[in-house]
Structure 1
Amino acid sequence: MRKRQQSQNEETSTVPQAPGGNERPNTCCFCWCCCCSCSCQIPNNEEILSWSHNFDKMMRSTAGRNLFREFLRTEYSEENLLFWLACEDLKNEQNKKLVEEKARTIYEDYISILSPKEVSLDSRVREVINRNLLDPTPHMYEDAQLQIYTLMHRDSFPRFLNSQVFKTLLESTEESTNDS
């Protein structure tokens, strides 16, 4: 009985932890999603350090976006990244019917003033979007997407670099590098 309790204690002590110390049961990867079905890998320390100097590089990295999304969630601004990702998905769509469907969904989820996930856009960009909704194209949200990308880069990214989420990841990768 005592050995069983000891082995259970050892198993629970190795549960990965998300930034902020929250336990992440059933995780085997970097993305904090607890699904164990994704293929993302923990990036090396060099790559993580490069993110601190290059927002574009972080945004091109699945692992970087996942970590940034975790941070944005703590700031209640995750919708900015979700909008940007939805626009990226729309740009890759060729089927006209799906373009219309995705464009309408993006509008309802992120542009509409009735949406709880509304992103902050200026009136000029909103007018262009409203006109473009009459004949949606894969690139109809480019101005809005650029505006949100710039907002994340200038506003959220500097706070992300100073966040506990990012610092914890840097420390953990430095420790694993030193252990090697």
Structure 2
Amino acid sequence: MPQSVSGGEMRKRQQPHIEGPPQPPGPPTPNPCCLCWCGCCKCLWNEDRVVPPRGMDSIEATEEPHPTLDELISWARSFEQMMRSDEGRSIFREFLRSEYSEENLLFWLACEELKRESNPMTIEEKARIIYEDYVSILSPKEVSLDSRVREGINMSMAEPHRLMYDDAQLQIYTLMHRDSFPRFLNSSVYQDLLETKRRSCLDT
């Protein structure tokens, strides 16, 4: 998988890379999943929430993000809270880009977009794009997935469905939560913005 020396080394320090040969396609397996990752179907990540459509790789707001101080503080308390915020994801993406792991957030968002589709042809097309962009071992944006999850995806590619990436999405969400998020909160990206907002509040 082609990548720069510095980017590759940094990425491998934060993500164990597991890959195996592609598995033969077969019948898809049911894979129900709660959208909130905590197993609770009453939380804010249920299927009733309305999410505006977004392109596969286009998650940045049309304007520069300007979160309030209260919003910034709430992100530190809850990774889920930050991920629900367009501004939060945009700033988190900036941090992930500095760590050469931006593809994790892009993959997660692409899976969210796939879940909202209902047209079979669109589902098949987007499922294939996600596979080529983030699952294929030939892609420079490949995310780190274990062999069990990869096998399930390969089986589902025979008949793609909108929930086929649920296990992979959960794995990447957990990776960002446990690995990247704590570093984000200690990073200059977050801390500088937090300090700027605090000073702004004191001046008003």
Q: TM-score range by the shorter chain?
A: 0.7 to 0.9
Alignment of 1:73-88 (within 5 A): 73-88=97-112
The separation in 2 between residues aligned to 1:168 and 1:114, in whole angstroms, is 37
Are 2:137 and 1:110 aligned? no
The gaps in structure 1 that reach 5 residues or longer are 1-36
Q: Structure 2 unaligned runs (5+)?
A: 1-60
* Alignment partners' CA distance in 2, 1:70 and 1:57: 17
Aligned to 1:120: 144
Describe the superposition over 1:81-115 as per-residue Cα deviations: whole angstroms up to 9, x where unpaired. 00000000100111110100000000000000000
Other-structure match for 1:138 = 162
Q: Spell out the pairing of 1:45-64 with structure 2 (5 A cutoff).
A: 45-64=69-88
Q: Is the 8 A contact 2:65 2:90 kept in 1?
A: no
Q: Which has the higher contact order (CA 8 A, sep 6+)?
A: 2
The SS at the match of 2:77 is coil
Alignment of 1:1-180 (within 5 A): 38=62, 41-180=65-204
- Greater helix content: 1
| Cα distance in 2 between the residues matched to 1:90 and 1:164 | 33
Which stretches of structure 1, 4 residues or longer, exceed 6 Å deviation after superposition? none
TM-score by length of 2: 0.69
Over the aligned positions, Cα root-mean-square deviation in angstroms equals: 1.1
**By how many angstroms is 1:43 displaced?**
1.5
Separation in 2, partners of 1:127, 1:118: 15
Query: Aligned to 1:52, what secondary structure does the other structure show?
Result: helix
- Contact 1:40/1:62 (CA < 8 Å) preserved in 2? no
Distance 1:40 1:94 in 2: 32
